[in-house]
Amino acid sequence: MGKKIVMQDIADRLNISKNSVSQALSGKDGVSEETRRRVIQAAEEMGYTYKKKKTPNRHKQETRTIGLIASERTFSLKTFFGEIYLSIEREAQRHGTRLVIQSITSDDCEQLTMPGFVQDKSVDGVLILSNISTPYINRVISEGIPVVLIDHHHPAIEADAILTNNRFGAYNAVRHLLECHHRNIAIIGNVSVSPSYQERWEGYLLAMRDYGIEPQRELMFLDVMEDEQSVEQVLGSLKEMPDAWFCLNDGFSFIVLSLLKKQGYRVPEDVSICGFDNSIYSQVSDPKITTMAIDLNLFAHKALTQLMWRIEHPREACFETLLPTKLIKRESTAPSSRHIHKR
């Protein structure tokens, strides 16, 4: 006698969640007509017996359950990722979608321990906020649940991703400094933390070269920790203060601004500073910091929309969507004066 066919067998065959199979066979909302048809056909072919239900009203709003996972560190960064999370929560409510959340500890990451809703495939799809690790993300994907990455991608990960156009955003930030007639423009951050920072560095290089300036290696500080002591060591190592600083995020720009003021430099009269992200750091500083704004609500909308599409089209090629940034000019940047005066 052969093995008894269960819902999980149908789910595995169609590469969808067990929850979607249950919804399709029970006649509940939450799956498309195409998916329902495929599930019923597979059930009949595999000999799965179930009580047939009436087809639901097509005009009713679909209800789904999606998971949101991120590292503990990402969830702790409330100034940026916290805002994205709140936007995702609002967007899910607007779509009538149930959202379940799980933070991933460093031990979970190292041991590739999956959240319960991934293990039992009780969600229709998963949003992954920022980076956890490439092996971990690939393990989630291997479970066969549709996945969309938010603000992270990697060549070794095959999944849809919603990203900031970091290269063009950084290009426009540095172009603003160049149009203020700054030429010795330093860059500071840590490109190993995220592909986003690597791409912002590339945007800096592209802008400088477009303006006929070969970037100086001694003005590129690309492996600096985001704390006051590390940035202070960089400033202390300088033979001469640059005309301007392009910081890979607003946390760095806030620290650079604070330390320069302590050392007696005037911002922007002596030195201009530009950040990235339009986080709270750029808005509470004195002076307020010029930065590149990211529409976090658009992030959430595009991520939810793409995940819903991916659930219905599991075999289509993966897409990366680049979201635009906007230059917010504030008081930390100004046209260059010929000489830097230290008090």
Reading the block at residue 302, the tokens are: 């595009």
Q: Any idea which of 51-60, 203-212, 266-275 has the lowest mean pLDDT?
A: 51-60
Give phi and psi for 161, each to the nearest 5: -140, 135
Q: What is the pLDDT of residues 78-133, one digit of tens each?
A: 667 777 888 898 989 888 899 999 999 999 999 999 999 999 999 999 999 989 99
pLDDT of residue 197: 95
pLDDT of residue 53: 59
Using 50, 70 and 90 to split pLDDT, how confident is the model at 193?
A: confident
Longest dimension (CA), the chain: 90
pLDDT of residue 125: 96
Angle value at C-alpha 298, between 171 and 32, nearest 5 degrees: 135
- Report yes or no: 185 and 246 within 8 Å, Cβ to Cβ: yes
pLDDT of residue 339: 44
Sign of the alpha-carbon torsion through 203, 194, 97, 22: positive
**Between 94 and 211, where is the model more confident?**
211
Q: Look at phi and psi of residue 60 and say left if phi exceeds 0, alpha if psi is from -120 to 50, else beta.
A: beta
Q: What is the pLDDT of residues 260-287, one digit of tens each?
A: 999 999 999 999 999 999 989 999 999 9
pLDDT of residue 52: 67
Q: What is the pLDDT of residues 68-77, one digit of tens each?
A: 999 988 877 7
Coil vs helix vs strand at 321: strand
Choose among 276, 279, 273, 248: nearest CA to 258. 273
Using 50, 70 and 90 to split pLDDT, how confident is the model at 60?
A: very low
Reading the block at residue 239, the tokens are: 């033979």
Q: Any idea which of 21-35, 44-58, 63-77, 286-300 has the lowest mean pLDDT?
A: 44-58
Distance (Å, whole) CA 287 – CA 285: 5
Mean residue pLDDT across the chain: 90
Using 50, 70 and 90 to split pLDDT, how confident is the model at 62?
A: low
Q: What is the pLDDT of residues 165-175, one digit of tens each?
A: 999 999 999 99
Q: Which domains does the chain have, with CATH numbers?
A: 1-62 (1.10.260.40), 65-164+296-324 (3.40.50.2300), 166-293 (3.40.50.2300)
Q: What is the pLDDT of residues 231-240, one digit of tens each?
A: 999 999 999 9
Using 50, 70 and 90 to split pLDDT, how confident is the model at 56?
A: very low
Nearest 10 degrees: CA dihedral of 123, 303, 76, 82? -120
pLDDT of residue 189: 98
Q: What is the pTM of this model?
A: 0.77
Distance (Å, whole) CA 183 – CA 123: 52
Q: What is the pLDDT of residues 118-167, one digit of tens each?
A: 999 999 999 999 899 999 999 999 999 999 999 999 999 999 999 999 99
Nearest 10 degrees: CA dihedral of 23, 29, 32, 36? 40
Q: What is the pLDDT of residues 311-341, one digit of tens each?
A: 999 999 999 999 999 999 999 999 987 544 4
